[in-house]
Amino acid sequence: MNPLQTRGGTVIAGIVLAVILTLIAPLPEGAARAVNPLEISVWFHAVVGVAWIGLLYYFNAVQVPAVAAATADGNPGPAAINKYVAPRALFWFRWAAVLTWLSGAGALGHMGILKDAFMLANPSVYAIGIGAWLGSIMLFNVWVLIWPNQKKILGIVQASDEEKVKARKIAFLASRTNAMLSIPMLLGMTAHAHGLPF
C-alpha cells in the first residue's frame, strides 16, 4: 500500500524518512548518536509551527480574497468554502497554534530559559523572548478573537446579520494582526537559533 494515499500514512512516512536521514547523517569524530529531547521538541515545534503559520498565510493570501471574489460573482463559491473548507482549516489552524505554543514553551523549558525568555531578563534570550511573546499574543488572537467570531460567521453559533458583520471585522483584523506579528515572531525565533541578537 502506498503511504501517500492517506494523510496519516504521509505523516508517518515523513517521520520515518526524518529518522532515517538522522541515522545516516555523519557525526563529528568522537560524537555518539543519542536521542535528545530538546532536539525532538524543537523539531516538533517547527513542524506544527509551519502548519499554523502556513494556514494563517493561506487564510490571508488565498481564502479571504477568494471568498470576496466569489461573493462579487454571486456564485455559490463562498457557501462551499464556508461549509466545507473553512471549518476544517480552522480546526487544524487553532490546534496547530496550541501545539506550537506548548512545544515552544517546552523547548524553552528544556533549554532552561523559559523564565528568562518571557521576562526578557537576559540579553542572550531577548530575540527568542520577543518571538515567544508575539507567539503568545497570536495564540490569544486565535482562541479569543478569531475562532469565536468565525463560529458566528460560519453558522456554527447562532448570530444575527449585524453580529456576523461585526464578527467578520474582528476576525479579519485579528487574522491580519497575526499575519503581521508572524514576521517579527519568525525573525526572533530564527535569530536566536542562529545566535544572532535580533
For the entire predicted model, the pTM comes to 0.87
Label residue 178 by pLDDT band (50, 70, 90).
very high
Label residue 1 by pLDDT band (50, 70, 90).
confident
Q: Chain-wide mean pLDDT for the chain?
A: 90
24-38, 51-65, 121-135, 154-168 — which is least confidently predicted? Answer: 24-38
pLDDT (0 to 100) of residue 112 = 93
Contacts of 188 (CB under 8 A, 6+ apart): 127, 128, 129, 130, 131, 132, 134, 198
What's the whole-number mean pLDDT along residues 117-131? 92
Cell of 182: 508572524
Label residue 193 by pLDDT band (50, 70, 90).
confident
Cβ(108)–Cβ(132) below 8 Å: yes
